[in-house]
Structure 1
Amino acid sequence: MDAEGKRLARVRDQALSGAAPRGVRPAVRASWDRSRGSGVHPDRHLPPVPLAENDVVDLRREHALARVWPTLERTLHTSLDGPGRILFLSDAAGHLLWINGDRPTVRRAERVNLVPGARWSEDAAGTSGVGTTLALGRPFQVRGPEHYLSAATAYTCSAAPIRDPMTGAVLGALDLTTEPLDGAEGLALSLVISTARLAEAQLREHAQRQHFELQRRYVSRLANRVGSHSAVVAPDGRVVLADPVGWLPQRWYLPLREGTAVLPDGRSVVIERLTVDGPFFVMAQEVEVDGAVVFGGLGLDRGWLRVDGVAHELTVRHSELVAVLCAWPGGLTAEGLAREVYGPHGKTVTVRAEMTRLRRILGYRLASEPYRLVGPVRADFLDLEQDLPSGSVGGLLDRYRGPLLPRSAAPGVAELRARVHERLRGRVFADGDPDSVVRWLAAPHGRPDRL
């Protein structure tokens, strides 16, 4: 240890013994105070390792920094050639996710829990390159004895945060750690800062490519909503497309979840998730609607659906799926839907593919696990069945345009069709009104062999 290192060690000993430290940087002194306040003991503490190996693998796979780690390794490759140097990349919570360095140095670092899955945030590990950089939100260097943990005083850590270039949020910290205090600390910190900026530039380029891809993919979605106020919003809140331009701010600050929301100016909007991971489709509710999903299928080979005031003609298969879902308010699994629509040999993969297509119409009104319709739901066949005990027979016959989806062979639809038809037939004959009986028998579906 050189003279500066010895001086820092004396200052640290004084501070830990309770004396007011002199000759220590204010930022380090403040970090020591925070570390003490977090309950970290300098001599009886090592950073925790809360993440198992499989947890680390999962976090790496999902983390935004995964796409820049190879660039960071290549850029700092020459700085890692010598012994005693290690490169770390953490997430925003201080968990070490990626580590690179020569094997002997990495093995020595394992003794102080400088390992993947360890948490080196300031509240867990005291003053350190990763932890204090994340606490301050700016590049920072911790030289040897400036570390709060005694086990870490052999290392000098130079770290810089990496931010999401679109939101400004800290994604993690890049740390270059060396064992000796050899006077090259300033160069190490500059190198880490420039490398972190390079990573942010790469992230910005990736985000811009995603932005343009989202614009290309979903421009037709907005084109189909001519005359309405609609937009496509990226998962990070960026408004990718808006029609008309400017009806939403450039960034969405409300929680992005499916359903309805109220903007700060009082306007009501409907939010729909376009894919599993986003983006989201946002449409202003410009007309007063009752909020119900309304389905019609009596006497029709292809049913219709009204969602948020917009009517859609359904395909035959979608008509069957929606009719079954209307009759099952608690929802059905993919396996259950397959049986109801395709029979005992129906495949769940087919159901899931059709539900993905149906979601383009229903949006947030179609929930999954189990599949179900969200919010008020009305269907002509269910409304008719509900009114059978008390409604006038003449009025019921006026509403009965024919059996539910008469050409459908789906088992669930056939059961619903027969149930409604037979209950109405029973009511007609039980009522005994001759005109109603004649009317029933004269209808194409009134003869027993026509159902």
Structure 2
Amino acid sequence: MDAEGRRLARARDQALSGVESRRVRAAVRASWDRARSNGVHPDRHLPPVPLAEDDVREVRRDHPLARVWPLVEKTMQPVLSEPGRILFLSDAAGHLLWTSGERPTLREAERVHLVPGARWSEDTAGTSGVGTTLVLGHAFQVRGAEHYLSAATEYTCSAAPIHDPVTGAALGALNLTTGSLGGADRLALSLVMSTARLAEAQLRDLAHRQHAELQGRYVRRLASRVGSHSAVVAPDGRVVHADPAGWLPERWFLPLCEGPAVLPDGRSVVIERLTVNGPFFVMAQEVEVDGAVVFGGLGLDRGWLRVDGVAHELTMRHSEFLAVLCAWPGGLTAEGVAREVYGASGKTVTVRAEMTRLRRVLGYRLASEPYRLVGPVRADFLDLEQDLSSGSLGGLLDRYRGPLLPRSSAPGVVELRARLHERLRGRVMAEGDTDAVIRWLAAPHGRSDRTTP
């Protein structure tokens, strides 16, 4: 240990025994005070490791910093080739997610819980590169004995936060840990800071690319679908596109939750999720609609759907999906939908892909886990079946344009079609109306016109 290290060690001993030392940096003294108030003991404490190996993999997969870790590791590789150096990248809560360094050095660091999954936030580990940097919000170096935990005083940690270039929020901290026996590495902090800025630049570039991709992928389709007062909002709250321009602010500050919402100025909107992880579609409710999802499939090879007053012609496969969902108001699992539409050989992965496509039309009205239609739902075949016992026979026959999706072989549709057809046939025969019987027998029950309402 050099002279600087010995001086810090003496100052630390004095401070931890209750004697205030002016030889300790103010930021370090303040951090020690926070650690003490959080109940962290310098000699009987190690950071917790709350994330198991599988948890770490899952957090990594969904974390924004996963996109910049390869660049960070490559940039720092020349430094990591020297013994005794380890690179860490944490999340905003201080969990170490990625590590890089020579194997012997990594194994040695395990004894003080410098491992993936460990939480080195200040409230759990006291003064450290990762934890104190996240508290301060700027780059910081913790030299040897400046660490609050005695087990960590052999290291010098140089860390810098990495911020989301759009929101400014801290995504995590980049930390280079070195052995402190040779003194603080004065170049380490500058290197870590420049690498963190490089990571932020890459995140900014990725955000711009995503912005352009969202515009290209969704804006034209949504504009044609709605026509006015609609917007695409990125998961981070950026309003990617608004039509007309300016009807929403540049950033969305309300929770991005599917369904109806009210803006601060009192305007009503509906929010729909376009993909599993966003973006979101926001539509102003400028006219009153009943909010019902209306499906028609009697006598048609390809059914129709009306949502918010807008009619959509469906593919035959999507017609089968909608007919089944209308008939199961409580919803079906992916396995149940596969069975009803594809039969015993149906695969859930195919169902999920088709549901994703249907969401482009239905938006938040198509819920999952289980798959179901949200809100009022009407279907011509269900309405007719409900009225069989009380409606006039002539009126029922007028409404029965033909069997439900007559060319469909989906098991669930076949069952629904047969049930309605036989019940209506039974009503005709039981009533004994000669004109009705003749009309029933003469009707082209296999018609397949594609007229939408």
Q: Kindly provide the CA deviation profile for residues 6-60 of structure 1, in whole angstroms up to 9, marking residues without a partner as x.
A: 2322222222222334332222122111111222110011111222223323333
Aligned in 2, Cα 1:179/1:387: closer, same or farther, shift over 3 Å?
same
How far off is 1:420 after superposition? 2.2
Residue of structure 2 equivalent to 1:115:
115
Residue of structure 2 equivalent to 1:332:
332
Q: Are the counterparts in 2 of residues 293 and 306 from structure 1 also a CA contact under 8 Å?
A: yes
Q: Kindly provide the CA deviation profile for residues 368-406 of structure 1, in whole angstroms up to 9, marking residues without a partner as x.
A: 333221221111221222223333434434433333233
Residue of structure 1 equivalent to 2:365:
365
Q: Are the counterparts in 2 of residues 402 and 445 from structure 1 also a CA contact under 8 Å?
A: no
How far off is 1:67 after superposition? 2.6
How far off is 1:204 after superposition? 0.9
Q: Which amino acid aligns with 1:204?
A: R
Correspondence 1:288-299 to 2 at 5 A: 288-299=288-299
Residue of structure 2 equivalent to 1:165:
165
Greater mean deviation of Cα atoms: 350-359 or 34-43? 350-359
Aligned in 2, Cα 1:289/1:89: closer, same or farther, shift over 3 Å?
same
Structure 2: how far apart are the matches of 1:99 and 1:308?
Answer: 51
Q: Which amino acid aligns with 1:438?
A: D
Q: Are the counterparts in 1 of residues 332 and 372 from structure 2 also a CA contact under 8 Å?
A: yes
Structure 2: how far apart are the matches of 1:446 and 1:353?
Answer: 38
How far off is 1:99 after superposition? 2.1
Residue of structure 2 equivalent to 1:306:
306
How far off is 1:350 after superposition? 4.1
Q: Which amino acid aligns with 1:365?
A: R
Structure 2: how far apart are the matches of 1:329 and 1:46?
Answer: 53
Structure 2: how far apart are the matches of 1:61 and 1:448?
Answer: 53
Structure 1: how far apart are the matches of 2:152 and 2:86?
Answer: 13
Residue of structure 2 equivalent to 1:224:
224
Q: Are the counterparts in 1 of residues 52 and 117 from structure 2 also a CA contact under 8 Å?
A: yes
Structure 1: how far apart are the matches of 2:169 and 2:329?
Answer: 41
Structure 2: how far apart are the matches of 1:381 and 1:402?
Answer: 10
Identity of aligned residues (%): 80
Residue of structure 1 equivalent to 2:128:
128
Greater mean deviation of Cα atoms: 112-121 or 213-222? 213-222
Q: Are the counterparts in 1 of residues 120 and 131 from structure 2 also a CA contact under 8 Å?
A: yes
Aligned in 2, Cα 1:222/1:409: closer, same or farther, shift over 3 Å?
closer
Q: Which runs of 5+ in 2 are unaligned?
A: 448-453
Q: Which runs of 5+ in 1 are unaligned?
A: none
Q: Are the counterparts in 1 of residues 402 and 446 from structure 2 also a CA contact under 8 Å?
A: no
- TM-score, normalised with respect to structure 1: 0.91
Q: Kindly provide the CA deviation profile for residues 206-229 of structure 1, in whole angstroms up to 9, marking residues without a partner as x.
A: 111121122222232133136321
- TM-score, normalised with respect to structure 2: 0.90
How far off is 1:113 after superposition? 1.4
Q: Are the counterparts in 1 of residues 403 and 446 from structure 2 also a CA contact under 8 Å?
A: no
Structure 1: how far apart are the matches of 2:444 and 2:191?
Answer: 87
Structure 2: how far apart are the matches of 1:348 and 1:71?
Answer: 36
Correspondence 1:48-447 to 2 at 5 A: 48-180=48-180, 182=182, 184-225=184-225, 227-431=227-431, 434=433, 437-444=434-441
Aligned in 2, Cα 1:193/1:365: closer, same or farther, shift over 3 Å?
same
Structure 1: how far apart are the matches of 2:364 and 2:442?
Answer: 37
Q: Are the counterparts in 2 of residues 273 and 363 from structure 1 also a CA contact under 8 Å?
A: yes
Q: Are the counterparts in 1 of residues 85 and 102 from structure 2 also a CA contact under 8 Å?
A: yes
Q: Which amino acid aligns with 1:170?
A: A
Q: Are the counterparts in 2 of residues 84 and 180 from structure 1 also a CA contact under 8 Å?
A: no
Structure 1: how far apart are the matches of 2:419 and 2:205?
Answer: 59
Q: Which amino acid aligns with 2:302?
A: R
Q: Which amino acid aligns with 2:159?
A: A
Structure 2: how far apart are the matches of 1:449 and 1:195?
Answer: 68
Q: Are the counterparts in 1 of residues 299 and 446 from structure 2 also a CA contact under 8 Å?
A: no
Q: Are the counterparts in 2 of residues 129 and 142 from structure 1 also a CA contact under 8 Å?
A: yes
Greater mean deviation of Cα atoms: 4-13 or 175-184? 175-184
Aligned in 2, Cα 1:78/1:348: closer, same or farther, shift over 3 Å?
closer
Structure 1: how far apart are the matches of 2:147 and 2:446?
Answer: 88
Q: Are the counterparts in 1 of residues 143 and 184 from structure 2 also a CA contact under 8 Å?
A: no
Q: Are the counterparts in 1 of residues 5 and 183 from structure 2 also a CA contact under 8 Å?
A: no
Aligned in 2, Cα 1:392/1:189: closer, same or farther, shift over 3 Å?
same
Q: Are the counterparts in 2 of residues 441 and 447 from structure 1 also a CA contact under 8 Å?
A: no
Structure 1: how far apart are the matches of 2:215 and 2:443?
Answer: 53
Q: Are the counterparts in 2 of residues 164 and 170 from structure 1 also a CA contact under 8 Å?
A: yes
Calculate the aligned-residue CA RMSD, in Å.
Answer: 2.5
Q: Are the counterparts in 2 of residues 161 and 171 from structure 1 also a CA contact under 8 Å?
A: yes
How far off is 1:335 after superposition? 3.3
Q: Kindly provide the CA deviation profile for residues 238-295 of structure 1, in whole angstroms up to 9, marking residues without a partner as x.
A: 2222211222221222222322222222222222222222222222222211111111
Structure 2: how far apart are the matches of 1:448 and 1:101?
Answer: 73
Q: Which amino acid aligns with 1:442?
A: R
Residue of structure 2 equivalent to 1:39:
39
Aligned-partner SS, 2:420: helix
